[in-house]
Amino acid sequence: MATAFQIPGPVFCVVCNEELNGPHRSTCQMCGGPFHQPWLPDSDAPRCGRGASHDETLAVVFLCRDCYDNRRPPSQN
């Protein structure tokens, strides 16, 4: 049975379109898409996003590279 944090089947990075395996991934705060985010300095996972500071909430957020570089239109939910 899948929980709220488990998605059945393969999950693909919104930036490089490669499958996300293991713990080196995050979800974009802007578009909601999953992307590769290495959590260890010696990880061979691609870096498809980055952390950024959110000035209004004084929080660290994670954005995919496309949203960080303003190449992806904001999601319209």
The domain spans of the chain are 12-77
Q: What is the pLDDT of residue 4?
A: 57
Please identify every stretch of the chain with a pLDDT value under 50, giving residue numbers as ranges.
Answer: 1, 77
Q: Say which DSSP state 32 is in.
A: -
CB 29, CB 44: distance < 8 Å: no
Q: pTM for this one?
A: 0.77
| Residue indicated by tokens 């590279």 | 65
The pLDDT value given to residue 77: 47
